Structure 1
């Protein structure tokens, strides 16, 4: 029985079957998920027989940090080795406080790559992986070139946070499932880990600060909508036409744009929220004025926001747009009342930018950190 693989409800059920009260089960959960401990000494309300049973039956697998690399802009990429020798990555993203964020915005307008490094960090967001590799094979993504190897278990997802949090100098206040893998191809484990992340007796990260990204796994989008989760959902859209999307994202051949947007509209109707589309910006490929108009037509009747993320393709096949091309695309959307945000994708020189996670070990500065003992 691996307690790190259970959410609160599952923990209460498993321990309740052994006569352990709900209150004590919650303390066990907090010991494991908030304190990061694997012992049950001096746990209030836990009887000696129950403690001995836990010591005999509780298993605690773990992952190992292979290395940390930090980029000039303050992003830190962690390479983890799993129990089977496979490797995955997570990225610690530094965030300033609200006042400094306004200054950061001005710096980014000036194109200053080291903007984050110049501002004090108030908190972190952690970008976690959900799979080893990815089966979707998006043409602009390095992770997709690894192929789909396997899903991460719940505890392997949670362990990424625990390992980083143990040594972080500031709190981790947000989680984004935008690392290696397609989260909705590992739906059960991703949603279970998200529930643990937002538990008050666990890491206590606000549900609205947990973002799950999907490239368009339609059945799971429908399921997510029906289940009524409170996490943020972002839809990755490489193109607004079927032909171009199929060229960039083979998932189009499995779940087409019409199917995808049918599920997105159902999600929007159920949540009454503005839909966030993540749009990889590729120079000379998907930013023409007619492509922008196709996006306007595709989203007609929906309240949407478009996050524009410059492509970072290590192979050099795809290049980011120039300012004029991107402005032309944004102007078409603006005329139709569609807001756009140009998202900063940091850590490029260490392979930590969006679409570049491929378990590489190059670039940046190696960081040695003495971990803080849990508990």
Structure 2
């Protein structure tokens, strides 16, 4: 890829979450692109950023209106450097600042990349600024083709956005299955002596927006060797919501709540489980047309998925045979699908694990589509 320089306006990078929002910056910096990454927040950068020497990470401490002005000043300073050719705006939360840069006269070529297209009527400010930036951007990138089509129509974009699905790169380090960690999880559930235990990972905290009530009711229909694992349950309000759920008492001994975990350890937990849940409410374009980062996280860790039966996920799951789909509002259907996926022998599960891992590495890696898009964008302007 032709050498060039970009200023990247992104979310803070930390150890306590998946780095999907920063993935384009990370991967571009490994492809002969000099990236100045500017973020607004308070998370200390992770140690592994040293593995990306072409990425200069600038964190402006978030502490009120004054710090927002400092952020704009730093963005403008970096964007005006002669060698900078592109401004890369990652996510709707950065669009107010990108709009300010444009109004202050910054006219670098602009790439707008969203992995969480908001849809109409959800966040009025971001919707206004996202439309402003997207209509002026030289390139718009979405993470799912149906979102891209809707966004182009809603915002009256001059051309269709490019599509780069959210995914882990093929070379992202993913841990092997850790049987000692698995035994520890089962021990916390009192299931260490149970033959054929099946751990279903929800990949996030309890929440109505994650169809957790329906998941609990599905669990109640399943044999006692099935358990449900939530992560990110540090917040006492999340635990209170879980414990107040009418379906919780019947399955409380088969629900494990883990705290928020560093991303590398979260992947270890995924790899110690058996099935991944990807359920969403039908509450907007973003939920109805999904391409979540958790999909390839699960697959790379060897987990078949149970996904919402909406068009995008349904097509992915069926095309690649990586699990099953269910109506996310129907606990009985969710339970039936979990029973089918988890009701096979451990040997069959192991074979499935190897197969879905290979599919994720070969056919659903980040650079597969990103490389094609970047070639069109950057080499066109060389």
TM-score (norm 2): 0.30
The structure where helix makes up a greater share of residues is 2
* TM superposition score normalised by structure 1: 0.30
